[in-house]
Amino acid sequence: MHSQSIPESIREDEFAIDVINGEKVLITLPTILGGRGSEWEGSPIFGRHYLMALLQRGMEHDVLQPADIQRLLSRCPAQS
C-alpha cells in the first residue's frame, strides 16, 4: 500500500521558520510519510516538485543561499 498522494507544493500554512541550536531551519508538516502497511510506512517521501518547493521556501526565508545551491551543483556529476 502506497501513500495516497505525494504533495507537490508547500503552502504558507504548511511550514514554519525557527532557529534551532543557532541555525535557521524550515519545519514542515508530516504530510509526506509513507502510508500504513507500505514498505515505506512512516518514512518521509519527497518527490521532485516537493523538493523544488522546499528549496524555494528555504531560499525565500534565508535558510539557504544561492551559493549553497551552486556548491551542491558543483558536486553533482555532469548531466548530459
Q: What is the pLDDT of residues 56-65, one digit of tens each?
A: 999 999 999 9
Confidence (pLDDT) at 60 = 94
Where does the pLDDT of residue 25 fall: very low under 50, low under 70, confident under 90, or very high at 90 and above? very high
Interval 44-60 mean pLDDT? 90
pTM of the model: 0.74
Per DSSP, the residues of 4-45 read S-------GGGEEEEEETTEEEEEE-S-SBBPTTSTTBT-B-
Sign of CA dihedral 62, 16, 13, 47: positive
pLDDT over 60 at 3, yes or no:
no
Interval 23-50 mean pLDDT? 85
